[in-house]
Chains A and B, each alone.
Chain A
Amino acid sequence: MSEFRQRVEAAIPALRRYARALTRDSETADDIVQDTLVRALRSEHLFHDGDVRAWLYTILTNLNRNRLRSLSRRPTLTPIKDSDAAMTGPDTGSRDIARALDDLAEDQRAALLLVVLEGLTYREVAEVQGVPIGTVMSRLARARMQIKAYLDGERPALRRVK
């Protein structure tokens, strides 16, 4: 197996972790990882001695954005999560981190996960997301503020209409 392929293979567990947190669904996560791997392996010849891992994160992040775009054409409104009375008890476990991640905008969620879960530097995240570092930091700040508000029991902000 080529060195490139070995590096791709070595990255799979981390890609699955990132995808799982990004989608909060194991089946969807593995679908995206598979698509990521197919693309990476198909483009092996385009890859010249860079950071394979960062490149894989970039592909996966793009694919998930594409996926969400295609989903967003269906509903015009997304339900407000806490309208369900069963979930708004004072100290139920439902205010958990997965739901908090659910309520974030996709780019904020990706930035936060790449930093805290995948251990990428701000610079690497900026490259993965194709934005300046300042944008990464503001995504991070907004994500953290919103999660904190959610975990503190505030009503989540109305979600943006997609």
Chain B
Amino acid sequence: MLGLLKEAAVGGVMGGIKDVREQRRNTNLTIMSRNSGRGNPNAITHFGAELNTRQKNLLQQLPDYDSSIIVKKGDVNLKDLSALTAETGNEFAMFTRGSQRMIIRGNSNKVNINGSMAQELYNAGFKWSGHTHPGTGINVKLESIGDKYILKQFNQRQSVILDDQGRINIFTIGE
């Protein structure tokens, strides 16, 4: 459908435009096809938009609960994680070491990283960049006891939680 609209719009522009009204209509169609909301967590949640290509590639490499990958830092950001949560309803956690990022897929209410695994990741040089929660609203973006405990294992004072619209809460723990 979208392809048809795009073709229609391009055809209209290329084929010569007879009147202003038609031109306006075609321009609007072109804009619509360019702003499909692909990859935008909010659009995925509310309008069923698709993941973008790099998000689809990430999801292919993270097919099940507990699957993990390491990618280049530039190949994923927290917004991508939010989009994956909007698409799957699962949580995702991201850890960063230099130019690398590790992504771990959880299920609808947890990511399987316990205290000793967190310490191993910390000893290997990873920092906990953040994780996602399915749903929206402030209660969704609050940290659990588990989150605070895991953050301590990373010797960090703060990390972030994103909901499935890509909205962020920075959570902190005391010294």
A-B complex is real? no
- Report which A residues bind B (CB closer than 8 A): none
